[in-house]
Chains A and B, each alone.
Chain A
Amino acid sequence: MIDQVEVNQQLMFDGESDEKQFLTFMMHDEEYGMDILAVQEIRGWEPVTTIPNSPNFVRGAMNLRGTIVPIIDLRMRFGISAIEYGPLTVVIVVSVQIKDQQKIMGLVVDAVSDVYSIAEEKAKDVPDFQDSDNAYFVHGLVNVGQKMVVLLNLEKVLDLSDKSGLKG
């Protein structure tokens, strides 16, 4: 009983009940969001060490304070045309649990955008994307003001062994 009370209090302190915070970033003029709790840090782009015979979206490995971290180009992961990296290009370092293993990875995106508090139940289910192979990676869609934000399912985006979402 006491446990229950404590848990409830915990939830109350955690802010506006069921809202979650999302970090959003831009890619190909679209705004994507990810659970902010997964984000470890945001860094500028710097050259990485190529990992031989890796998929094209794996840019290489980076030294993050002594830990070897793979860097994924999210455009390439989604099959969006590549652009040259510029001053706004950032690497979002995330920590995600993939098949019982906590992994730290870096995601290259065009630019970071904002942090929103979003009630999860407001997120709409993904409409039937007839024209996209990437629906698999999407957790839901949500409107923030005029804009639409695509909330990503990082576990699926970063599970490199799972090819089910990718064509070819």
Chain B
Amino acid sequence: MSIDLSQFFDVFFEESFEGLDAMEAELLNLEPGKEDSETINTIFRAAHSIKGGSGTFGFVSVSDFTHVLETLLDQIRDGQRTLTAEHVNLLLKSVDCVRGLLGALQAEEEPDLSESNELKARFEAILGGESAEEAEGEPQEDTTQALQSTTYQIDFKPEPHLFKTGNEPLYMFSELAELGQLEVTAFHDGIPDFLEFDPEDCFLHWRFFLTTSKPEQAISEIFEWVEDDADIKIEACGGLFEDDTNAAAEIDISEAADLSEPGSVTEASTPEIKAEPAPKADENIAAVQKKVESAKNTKKSADSTATSIRVGIDKVDSLINMVGELVITQAMLSQIGDQEITESSIAALQEGLTQLAHNTRDLQENVMRIRMLPISFVFSRFPRLVRDTSQKLNKQVELKLVGEQTELDKTVMEKLSDPMVHLVRNSLDHGLETPEERIANGKDPVGTVTLNAFHQGGNIVIEIMDDGKGLDTEKIRSKAIANGLISEADELSVEEVNELIFMPGFSTADSVSDISGRGVGMDVVRRNIQALNGSVEVTSKQGVGSTFTIRLPLTLAILDGQLVQVATHTYIIPLISIVESLQIDISKVSKVGKGLEVLRLRDEYIPILRLYDIFSHQGAREELDKTLLVVVESDNYKIGLLVDDLLAQQQVVIKSLEANYQKVDGISGATILGDGTVSLIIDISGLIKLSGLRRPGSTELLVDLKGEEAEPV
């Protein structure tokens, strides 16, 4: 039978990754010396399952490595060994390592074994003379097996010159058959073309399944004389326990069994050499092959969708309910359509349409909910991160997770992870003090980092709080002055000073540390979060702690948009970035630099970007007093977009323009309006770049917005 094992790979990887997550979580709960047997058991079972599966599916690198893990865990489980902190650390590293190996295998890449080999060596060192024990174990096993009947798979592939050694394979086979029940398959795929066929050579090879109560040695003895003239593989694949009472009468019983099955006797004594495989079997294989092929194909198409979401059955059920309602509404409407048009049917039609609108909205909300996952998916990686980082920093930290069940869009979640890791590392590294410092300041030596998530309006808010020393405003201020970000004379409030840490290239750490250095600053965190249409802020009190607050829209798939008209074109500006829309008072417009117009709005100067100009559209209104200015904010800068008119505000579903085309500067995506036409969504920060208002790689606008030299037009 030919079965393609690859069809089970997806399930194997999925369950293995889950197993690793469980292992990790349990390991983090472990306190050496206080471990309970169920926790150890759970960890053991996860390692055991991964080892078993990877062995079965041929992932030798994983099964070899997990074997040592399993051995150690087994000893701990049996009480032969006590768990130490070193074990836990090593096991945690192994979880990462196995994750890496499996990840590579899943991506059909060659896994990098350097780490696993190193870890394996360390485990083996702990296990001591384990390999020697194993070597002793083997023969022991053999002697017991002598009392049991075992099935062996024997592959016998003679060299062509076998006959010339004077050996007769047929005799060996009947000898094998005498050992027990024998099943033979002959393979003739090595037979060459007729012209090259030498009748004195052996081109066949065989596979046997032998069930015997004799030790493996008895089999290898049969092949002893041809060992060097053939490939011989003998592998035990399982067996039966003989009943104790019958053990003595073993030979009699096996004979009796042979007699009761005459077919097996003849088969055993004269091995059936299937030179021509029966056509029926061939058909069968072909049928399987076909199914395997089709299975492969379905698998391929599933793979191309890249990622999957696990959805709770309750969510699916509620969707099915809603589709049911939709079907009923549709039936009602088509029934009305079949009737003659009367006043009452029009009223019914209107009612039906209201119902339809209601159904559609419900359905939309619920479909969006499918993409929503609890934030615990992101939070769950932090216990490990905090543990490792605090160890490295010699700090004592307690991590509190609040609001883990708060849901947000899967795509947002994936992109949120990195900025959060950065902020948490930052809190551990720069926020929290060492235990000594904390004691000196009258604080609990154990610092606390809290991750808190909750919904607020259409946003999810995530707070990263620490009870550390807070931001050092004096240090930030002097650093900003040294970096030329502010001048000595600038009077800044505490909040304004704290804001400075989000400026590019800003770092207060005296030395770039291993933890939060790496040349990545808070500016990158802010940029990444803004790319998700979100914001990040910090509040801090010296000596008490800091809180970083991330605000994000719940989903990336839908956006509240302001439709605007530019010449004959309709664009969408994200409502979240709009500060205000106004008619321009020409007397307050000045020109600076090379024709850049700025509007003096209260205390600020707002650069005016003519959308039609940036997008090269003809036929738009150009007179400032006949147009409207939409003031938007991005990256802390305000700019004004000149449009012909404001149209409706509506929720739009964001579609990719890149999927079939390419990235368009100043455009973040597209949507489909009510009339079926495509409308493009404006990307404010992209637009600023496109307008040349900002140097590439800088967040500073080219104009000095506090520019006193601005001249009236």
Chain A residues with CB under 8 Å of chain B are 1-3, 5-6, 47-54, 58, 60-63, 66-70, 103-105, 160-161
Q: Are A52 and B655 in contact (CB under 8 A)?
A: no
Q: Indicate if B289 sits at the interface (CB-CB under 8 A).
A: yes
Q: Does B79 contact A (CB under 8 A)?
A: no
Bound together, the chains give a CA A29 to CA B670 distance in angstroms of 36
Q: B228-261: which residues lie under 8 A (CB-CB) from chain A?
A: none
Extra pairs beyond A47-B677, A63-B678 (10, CB < 8 Å): A3-B289, A51-B667, A51-B680, A52-B664, A53-B616, A58-B661, A60-B678, A67-B660, A68-B655, A68-B670
CA distance A2 to B676 in the complex (A): 51
Known contacts A52-B667, A53-B665, A63 near B660 by CB under 8 Å? no
Contact A49 B659 (CB under 8 A): no
Q: Do residues B678 and A49 form an inter-chain contact, with CB atoms below 8 A?
A: yes
In Å, the complex CA distance between A121 and B665 comes to: 43
Contact A53 B656 (CB under 8 A): no
Residues of A within 8 A of B286 (CB): 2, 5-6
> What string of 1s and 0s marks CB contacts (under 8 Å) between B287-303 and chain A?
00110010000000000
Chain B residue with minimal CB distance to A50?
Answer: B569
**A52-B666, A70-B660 are known contacts. Are A63 and B569 too (CB-CB below 8 A)?**
no
Q: Within the assembled complex, what's the spacing in Å between the Cα atoms of A54 and B670?
A: 15
Kindly state whether residue B582 has any CB partner on chain A within 8 Å: no
B660-691 interface with A by 8 A CB criterion: 660-662, 664-667, 670, 672, 676-680
Taking a contact as CB atoms closer than 8 A, the residue among A5, A104, A161 that contacts B660 in the complex is: A104
Please tell me if the beta carbons of B662 and A160 are within 8 angstroms of each other in the complex. yes
The one of A6, A47, A52, A70 in contact with B661, judged by C-beta atoms closer than 8 angstroms, is A70
A58 contact set on B, CB distance < 8 A: 661
State A47–B664 Cα separation when bound (angstroms). Answer: 20
Tell me the B614-646 residues at the A interface (CB within 8 Å): 614-617
Contacts of B285 in A (CB 8 A): 2
Known pairs A51-B664, A68-B678; A6 contacts B290 (CB<8 A) = yes
**What's the nearest-Cβ distance from chain A to residue B398, in Å?**
47
The 3 closest A-B pairs by CB, nearest first: A52-B615, A49-B678, A70-B661
| Residues of the A chain whose Cβ atoms lie less than 8 Å from the Cβ of B660 | 67-70, 103-105
**Chain B contacts with A in 135-169, Cβ cutoff 8 A:** none
CB distance from A156 to the nearest CB of B (A): 16
- Pick from B617, B662, B678: contact of A161, CB below 8 A: B662
Give the chain A neighbours of B617 by CB distance below 8 A. 50, 52
B residues near A, CB below 8 A?
189, 282, 285-286, 289-290, 293, 569, 614-617, 655-657, 659-662, 664-667, 670, 672, 676-680
In the complex the two chains form, what is the Cα distance from A70 to B656 in whole Å? 11
Q: Can you spell out 26 A-B residue pairs with CB atoms less than 8 angstroms apart?
A: A2-B282, A2-B286, A6-B289, A6-B290, A6-B293, A47-B677, A49-B670, A49-B678, A49-B679, A50-B569, A51-B657, A51-B664, A52-B617, A52-B680, A53-B615, A53-B666, A54-B664, A60-B678, A61-B670, A61-B680, A63-B676, A63-B677, A66-B655, A67-B655, A67-B660, A70-B661
How far does the alpha carbon of A51 sit from the alpha carbon of B615 in the complex, in Å?
9
Q: Could you tell me the distance between the alpha carbons of A54 and B293 in the complex, rounded to whole angstroms? A: 43
B296 to chain A, nearest CB (A): 12
How many CB-defined contacts (below 8 Å) exist between A and B?
78
Specify which of A1, A48, A61, A105 lies most central, judged by the most chain B CB atoms within 10 Å of its CB.
A61
A70 to B289, CA, bound (A): 41
In the complex, how many angstroms separate the beta carbon of B508 from the nearest chain A beta carbon?
Answer: 41
The answer to whether B290 touches A62, judged by C-beta atoms less than 8 angstroms apart, is no
Cα-based distance from A103 to B657 in the complex (angstroms): 11
A66 to B672, CA, bound (A): 7
Q: Indicate if the CB atoms of A49 and B664 lie closer than 8 Å.
A: no
B687 to chain A, nearest CB (A): 10
What chain A residues lie within 8 Å of B616 (beta carbons)? 52-53
Q: Given the complex of chains A and B, what is the CA–CA distance between A112 and B76 in angstroms?
A: 75
B569, B664, B665, B679, most chain A CB atoms within 10 A: B664
In the complex formed, the residue of A with least CB distance to B677 is A49
**What chain A residues lie within 8 Å of B677 (beta carbons)?**
47, 49, 63
* Min CB–CB distance B712 → chain A (angstroms): 32
**A6-B289, A61-B678, A63-B678 known; A68+B657 contact, CB < 8 A:** yes
B666 partner residues in chain A, CB cutoff 8 A: 52-53
- With A2-B289, A68-B656 as known contacts, state yes or no: A53 contacts B664, CB within 8 Å: yes
**CA A87 to CA B189, docked complex, whole Å:** 64
Shortest Cβ gap from A5 to chain B (Å): 8
**Chain B CB within 10 Å, residue with most, of A47, A67, A105, A161:** A67
Report Cα–Cα, A47/B678, bound state, in Å: 10
- Minimum C-beta distance from A94 to chain B (A): 11
Please, which residues of chain A bring their CB within 8 A of the CB of B667? Answer: 51-52
Contacts of B282 in A (CB 8 A): 2
Task: Give the nearest-CB partner of B2 in chain A.
Answer: A2
Complex Cα spacing A66 to B677, Å: 10
Q: Decide yes or no: A49 and B569 within 8 Å by CB, A2-B285, A66-B672, A161-B662 being known contacts.
A: yes
Closest beta carbon of chain A to B91's beta carbon, Å? 39
With CB as the reference atom, state the residue of chain B lying closest to A160. Answer: B662
Cβ contact within 8 Å between A61 and B615: no
Query: For residue A60, which residues in chain B have a CB less than 8 angstroms away from its CB?
Result: 678
B189 cross-chain contacts in A, Cβ below 8 A: 1
- Closest chain-B Cβ to A26's Cβ sits at a distance in Å of 25
A18 to B189, CA, bound (A): 31
Chain A: minimal CB distance from B669 (Å):
8
CA distance A69 to B676 in the complex (A): 13
- Tell me the complex Cα distance, A103–B676, Å: 21
B689 to chain A, nearest CB (A): 13
- Residue of B655, B665, B666 most packed against chain A (CB within 10 A): B655
A68–B659 touching, CB < 8 Å:
yes
CA of A70 to CA of B658, assembled, Å = 10
Provide the residues of chain A in CB contact with B659, threshold 8 Å. Answer: 67-68, 103
**Smallest beta-carbon distance B610→chain A, Å:** 13
Closest to B570 in A: A49
In the bound complex, residues from chain A placing their C-beta under 8 Å from that of B655 are 66-68
Shortest C-beta distance, B374 to chain A (Å), equals: 29
Q: Could you tell me the distance in whole angstroms from the C-beta of A105 to the nearest C-beta in chain B?
A: 6
Report the minimal beta-carbon distance from B555 to chain A, rounded to whole angstroms: 17
Q: How far is the CA of A84 from the CA of B34 in the complex (A)?
A: 83
What's the Cα separation between A2 and B665 when bound, in Å?
53
A63, B656: Cα distance in complex, Å: 12
B615: chain A residues within 8 A (beta carbon): 52-53
Tell me the complex Cα distance, A69–B286, Å.
42
| A160 shortest CB reach to chain B, Å | 6
Separation in Å of the B653 CB from the closest CB of chain A? Answer: 9
Closest Cβ–Cβ distance, residue B283 to chain A (whole Å): 10
